[in-house]
């Protein structure tokens, strides 16, 4: 009985990790848009901090809302026509 309990805890924690990584990946896509189309010669500490905060925020929101968050962000990216 305890092995089933630990298996469910491991699968649950693995699911959380996958959701965070999926959200961080979506955040990276959002972050690449201004970097690709902009002319940034050098990124400072503030820009790196904001980029890190965006990635972490997207990862955390993905943990909380899951596929709903990722789908909403992808719909917004699709609506931009890029």
DSSP string across 6-40: HHHHHHHHHHHHHHHHHHHHHHHHHHHHHHHHS--
Both tokens assigned to 11: 């699968």
In the chain, the number of structural domains is: 1
> So what's the pLDDT on residue 20?
92
Q: Which domain holds residue 13?
A: 2-80
Q: What is the pLDDT of residues 65-76, one digit of tens each?
A: 988 988 888 898
> So what's the pLDDT on residue 1?
46
Residue 66 makes CB contacts below 8 A (sequence gap 6+) with 19
């Amino acid at each position: 009985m305890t092995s089933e309990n630990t298996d469910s805890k491991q699968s649950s924690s693995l699911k959380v990790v996958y959701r965070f990584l999926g959200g961080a990946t979506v955040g990276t896509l959002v972050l690449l848009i201004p970097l690709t189309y902009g002319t940034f010669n050098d990124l400072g500490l503030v820009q790196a901090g904001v980029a890190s905060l965006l990635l972490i925020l997207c990862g955390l929101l993905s943990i909380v809302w899951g596929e709903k968050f990722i789908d909403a962000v992808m719909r917004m990216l699709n609506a931009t026509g890029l």
